[in-house]
Amino acid sequence: MQQEHLFKVLVIGDLGVGKTSIIKRYVHQIFSQHYRATIGVDFALKVLHWDSDTVIRLQLWDIAGQERYGNMTRVYYREAVGALVVFDVTRASTFDAVLKWKDDLDTKVTLSHGKPVPAVLLANKSDQVCSQQPRLDTFCRENGFVGWFETSAKENTNIEAAARCLVEHILANE
Ligand code: GDP
Ligand code: MG
């Protein structure tokens, strides 16, 4: 018997950190320098053949412009089961905003048993820095992230790995 899951996953973080680029890379295998900030909420669907008897549909919710106003409405968060929280390694202010986004997430959605939804932290645009991103293990442990990855939507680094990590944690909550 094949099992099918539909998971709503939020992609959050400040404007310009690469949320849309990460989704486009992950779902459509494309990257563009062209900056597009549409207004509203965008969806993309990624189908994962997880194992021989599990198909996972990831419904990725992109913010598309509203992040400039800070936090998001509860409607956006409703029934989410996981989140990717993104910052831009070239802009420290976007890392400072990570905790604000995590807090927004945790105050606006919890799983049915009251646990916070799993969140993975993405240090994006890692192709733009030569020095390594300082390790974020302690930061993640202290702030309730299930893991972190240095990603590049441009060079397609670690995006699949980050998504896999998130899905493993989502499945563990099923
Ligand atoms: P969003 O506002 O968070 O959705 O950010 P976008 O996806 O629109 O990206 C903002 C800008 O950063 C665009 O010009 C992208 O091409 C660029 N960008 C996104 N991801 C990366 C990356 O991994 N590396 C580099 N070098 N640029 C990126
Ligand atoms: Mg965007």
Question: Could you write out the DSSP letters of every residue in 130-158?
Answer: SSPPPP-HHHHHHHT-SEEEE-BTTTTBS
Spatial separation of the C-alpha atoms in residues 90 and 104, rounded to whole Å: 23
pLDDT at 93: 97
Does the beta carbon of 3 lie inside 6 Å of ligand 1? no
Q: Is 20 in the pocket of ligand 1 (CB under 6 A)?
A: yes
pLDDT at 37 over 70: no
Q: Is 51 helix (H, G, I), strand (E, B) or coil?
A: strand
Q: pTM of whole model > 0.90?
A: yes
Residue 106 forms beta bridges with which residues?
Answer: none
Query: pLDDT tens digits, residue range 40-77?
Result: 567 899 999 999 999 999 999 998 767 777 667 788 89
Per-residue model confidence (pLDDT) at position 113:
87
CB 19 less than 6 A from any atom of ligand 1: yes
Q: Quick one: pLDDT at residue 63?
A: 82
Task: Give the pairing type, strands 82-88 and 3-12.
Answer: parallel
Residue 38 has pLDDT above 60, yes or no: no
Ligand 2: distance of its center to the CA of 42 in Å? 9
Q: What is the mean pLDDT of residues 134-162?
A: 96
Q: Which two tokens stand for residue 86?
A: 């993104």
Q: Is 154 in the pocket of ligand 1 (CB under 6 A)?
A: yes
State the Cα–Cα distance between residues 71 and 27, nearest whole angstrom: 25
Cβ pair 162, 122 in contact under 8 A: yes
Question: What share of the chain in percent tops pLDDT 70?
Answer: 93
pLDDT tens digits, 75-113: 889 999 999 999 999 999 999 999 999 999 999 999 988
Exposure string for 3-37, b = 16+ CB within 10 A, e = fewer: eebebbbbbbbbebbbbbbbbbbbeeeebeeeeee
Evaluate: CB of 35 within 6 angstroms of ligand 1: yes
State the alpha helices, DSSP H only, in the chain: 19-28, 74-77, 92-96, 98-108, 137-143, 159-172
Among the listed ranges 9-13, 35-39, 90-94, 103-107, which one has the minimum average pLDDT value? Answer: 35-39
Q: Which residue has the least CA distance to atom 2 on ligand 1?
A: 16
Per-residue b or e along 82-106, where b marks 16 or more CB atoms closer than 10 Å to that residue's CB? bbbbbbbbeeeebbebbeebbebbb
